[in-house]
Structure 1
């Protein structure tokens, strides 16, 4: 008798959020009129970290967080679960834009490194269990050209302040001793990275904030901000200071061309048997990515699954955000094929597929903005490196707004303004053209055994604004 595998669950905010369905604490919807010292728009990592540090700075502050959907609805509840030291942007571009030059970018890199352990320490101190384990990250090279890119990447990392203990190359045999990828040529090891469950973190932070006196409202969309007045569907809020922390959903408040929502998709397998894990050899919580232009990112989950993500269908016309994250079957097949290519002979069964959006500026550099005159600030544009960036951005917003001069308030992403995106349909054509070029470049390098990066990829990088 032939059995047919059940279709994976699709969308519904993803696997991480689904695991909390039965125990998720609901928060009230805002109605009426209120005045607060600090209003925060968006209950993802950035907004919640900002609320945390505001209350730590001054427990007497009245702080309210307004979320259009539910806690962690965006990238904070759907991402790949990497707490890494990768900065939200191009370090060379930050260096050119800053009076401090390369030293300013090195300072930014150091803050991202220290941010990894700082987040883990706060979770320990606050008793937040998000399945956190720090064991570094591996980046696999599947082609000689990809290995060459990793050498250049390591050199750039060293240039901008990482040490040979923070990041270093390993050969094929050393890589396969940690994770037995059949096609690997070698790779990079990053020391400063931790695996977490994204949804457990965002809800753990929200619980902590509630105990600190922060008021959190779900289903409370802020339609407009005029001066110190926030207008919602069922009320109005007067705030001395306002933080906009909406990342890929920022278009309505910050302008549709300030940053765009780039889509990323994930699948997670059913738990793998011990025999499969012995073959794969992934015996720790190391995060895993690769050097392909259409790269993947993945983790071994706390309950013995593999979660893997990639760009899939990268952009919806006119900056659509995709709702609860239903994912195309072709994207599920693409990510499943990646797994089977990495680990041939393993019977992977997909349990859940989902998508979400990340905020991307025209040059892929994030920025923290604070305007003292209006009392309004924002931290956005993390381009997929939002776990640590949100912690650092939220904390920096508080320090700027409450006039605390720190090592963070002078970093080169503070006040950084990226160029605006092109209007439609130019940006839709450009984004899809860029990813098509990257896909062709990967196939070209694989089939031809290229030792250098394809010219198609170099052109795609220029088109995207990624080129230094």
Structure 2
């Protein structure tokens, strides 16, 4: 029989993971793997990447046998805890992609991401997944002259790559205020290629959708050894022609992959549901996602139940890529996020914050996500989304399914991230020093830009150094 759930991971324990888990109906774990089994495709990880891969595999071939192995429950990790931005943002610049695969491939990648946002809305409609999908776009706000200069440069760069105002539009201060009354706004930009979602509803809905199509999900089952043609667990071995590693920020916990991905923690907070008179002063009627253009990322959305869910970076990287529930909360960072949100919208001063949570995301050494499948060994991987993983993972899953099945009429396997591998991160203590130094650098750069209004040379040098 499967082992009993420990007290920290009962149904109520899973609800405590985030606002999103606290506002869905059912988190009862599925049955663990009971014995050795054989399938066509074994997928390790029941987050977005694993479930989208499974979805597209069985949509292409309903007879294919797919098993998903999950240590906790579907949506336990970043897929269930993120900021709910289903965006076409990608952590690697068009310039960097073009340098490796050519200009046409880079532009095709970006346009494919634009389309993926709408595709997710279509799939959730078709499958009856009520994930609160509202494609209200993304508002990036400049609140000091340095941020405004960057936003203008980004808009000019989009034009140079052939993208028009329908994809990326500059806004003046009045146009920003018409979307959201962000304090001290000097201007901004807007792209329609982003939807606000309830991330746990999406990932749990995907799990149900693939089960209806015959995929078997074994929850509460740890993958202790992942290699060619097999996944070993405490409950038995899954043998498969193809094995997909879809573990994102948990990849360093898989044997032999400690330095493949750095798990970086991103934390979030959420307000109580706000009254109509407060929303009248804030805006965001169309549920546009929002951020300002600082270096140390922040991100927010208006939820369907009238809250603001708001998050950002700033938590430390933990030595040896350690992952622990203890790192999901950091009062210093959560207090900073609450302060920043009130700075953006002063009307929120005194509002009650009901939830604080966090989780890890996967960062490759070169900030370049990858999707790959070795037909000789059967091993496949997708990940390293650097926090931009909601739509990106859907495209990754679709691409992996095409690679595995060999049915690729859209030529997804020729996109710039396909077939590449980022080099490993440095060994410790260099990794710990380097990652935390970057966080400190970006914090300092943002402080300097607020004080002087001039772009940070140190931050610019960093982005140039990693090819962005």
TM range (shorter): over 0.9
User: SS at 1:432's partner residue?
Assistant: helix
Deviation at 1:157, TM superposition (A): 2.5
Counterpart Cα distance in 2 of 1:10 and 1:184? 39
Match of 1:399 among 383, 402, 408: 402
Range moving further from structure 2, 326-335 or 47-56: 326-335
Q: Is the 8 A contact 1:434 1:461 kept in 2?
A: no
Contact 1:112–1:392 (Cα < 8 Å) also in 2: yes
Aligned partners of 2:463 and 2:204: how far apart in 1? Answer: 36
Equivalence for 2:42: 39
Per-residue deviation at 1:50?
0.6
Aligned match for 2:79, one of 76, 79, 82: 76
Q: 2:316·2:436 contact (CA, 8 Å) conserved in 1? A: yes
Deviation per residue, 1:393-435 (Å, 9 max, x gap): 1111110111123321111110122222111111111111111
Q: Does 1:19 align with 2:23?
A: yes
Query: What is the DSSP-based 3-state SS (H/G/I as helix, E as strand, rest coil) of the residue aligned with 2:443?
Result: helix
Check if 1:349 corresponds to 2:352.
yes
Q: For 2:255 and 2:16, how far apart are their aligned partners in 1? A: 25
1:66 aligns with 2:90: no
Q: What is the number of equivalent residue pairs in this alignment? A: 453
Bigger drift between 343-352 and 359-368 goes to 343-352
Taking the TM superposition and a 5 Å limit, the aligned residue runs for 1:332-371 are: 332-346=334-348, 347-371=350-374
Number of the residue aligned with 2:444: 440
What is the rounded CA distance, in whole Å, between the counterparts of 1:348 and 1:208 in structure 2? 38
Q: CA deviation at 1:321?
A: 2.1
Task: Give secondary structure in 1 for the equivalent of 2:117.
Answer: helix
Distance 1:161 1:353, change over 3 A: farther
The equivalent residue for 2:317 is 315
Change (3 A) 1:11 1:211: closer
Aligned 8 A contact 2:373 2:400 in 1: yes
1:426 aligns with 2:436: no
Indicate how the Cα distance of structure 1 residues 336 and 396 shifts in structure 2: closer, same or farther if over 3 A, else same.
Answer: same
Structure 2 contact 265–327 (Cα < 8 Å) conserved? no
Q: Take 1:324 and 1:436, find their aligned partners in 2: how far apart are those partners?
A: 21
TM-superposed deviation, 1:325: 5.5
Q: How many Å separate the matches in 2 of 1:97 and 1:281?
A: 42
1:216-235 maps to which residues of 2 (within 5 A)?
216-235=217-236
Q: How many Å separate the matches in 1 of 2:15 and 2:212?
A: 31
Task: For residue 158 of structure 1, report the CA deviation from its aligned partner.
Answer: 2.9
Extract unaligned runs of 5+ from structure 2: 1-12
| Structure 1 position 254, deviation (Å) | 6.0
Q: For residues 209 and 143 of structure 1, what CA distance do their matches in structure 2 show?
A: 46
Normalised to the residue count of structure 1, the TM-score between the two structures is 0.93
Alignment of 1:194-213 (within 5 A): 194-213=195-214
**Structure-1 separation of matches of 2:204 and 2:232:** 26
SS in 1 for 2:433: helix
Residues 360 and 381, structure 1, Cα contact 8 Å, conserved in 2: yes
Q: Is the 8 A contact 1:39 1:241 kept in 2?
A: yes
Q: CA deviation at 1:380?
A: 0.9
Work out the CA distance in 2 between the residues paired with 1:348 and 1:388.
32
Q: Is 1:133 paired with 2:134?
A: yes
Describe how 1:27-426 pairs up with structure 2 within 5 A: 27-98=30-101, 101-251=102-252, 252-253=254-255, 255-323=257-325, 326-346=328-348, 347-405=350-408, 406-426=410-430
Is the CA contact 1:43–1:72 (under 8 Å) kept in the aligned structure 2? yes
Deviation at 1:289, TM superposition (A): 1.3
Unpaired runs of 5+ residues, structure 1, are 1-8
The TM-score with structure 2 as length reference comes to: 0.93
Distance 1:48 1:76 in 2: 10
- Return 208-217 or 156-165, whichever deviates more: 156-165
CA distance in 2, matches of 1:275, 1:308: 20
> How far did residue 163 of structure 1 move?
1.9
- 2:50–2:397: 8 Å Cα contact kept in structure 1? yes
- Specify the alignment match of 1:5 in structure 2: none
TM-aligned CA deviation for residue 442 of structure 1: 1.1
Shift of 1:253: 4.8
2:267/2:328 contact within 8 Å kept: no
Query: How far off its partner does 1:161 sit?
Result: 4.3
